[in-house]
Amino acid sequence: RPYLEEELRAALVAEPSAAFHLVALDVSASMATDAVMDEALAKARALIDSLPAADRVGVLFFADQSELVAPLYDAADAEVGSARRAAQVLAGARAGWRSTDYAAVLQDAETLLAAVGDENARRVLHLISDFQESAMPTADGWRLASAIELNPLYVGRETAANLAVQDVVVRAMDTGAGAIQVRARVKNWSPVAEQRAAVALVIGGERVAVQERLLAPGSASQFA
State mean pLDDT over 153-179.
81
Tell me how many helices (H) and strands (E) the chain has. 4, 10
Q: What is the pLDDT of residue 139?
A: 64
Residue 16 pLDDT class (50, 70, 90 cuts): low
Q: Is the pLDDT of residue 8 over 70?
A: no
The alpha helices in the chain, defined as continuous H runs, are: 5-12, 36-50, 83-89, 102-114
Average pLDDT, the chain: 86
User: How far does the chain reach from its first CA to its final CA, in angstroms?
Assistant: 46
Q: What is the pLDDT of residue 179?
A: 87
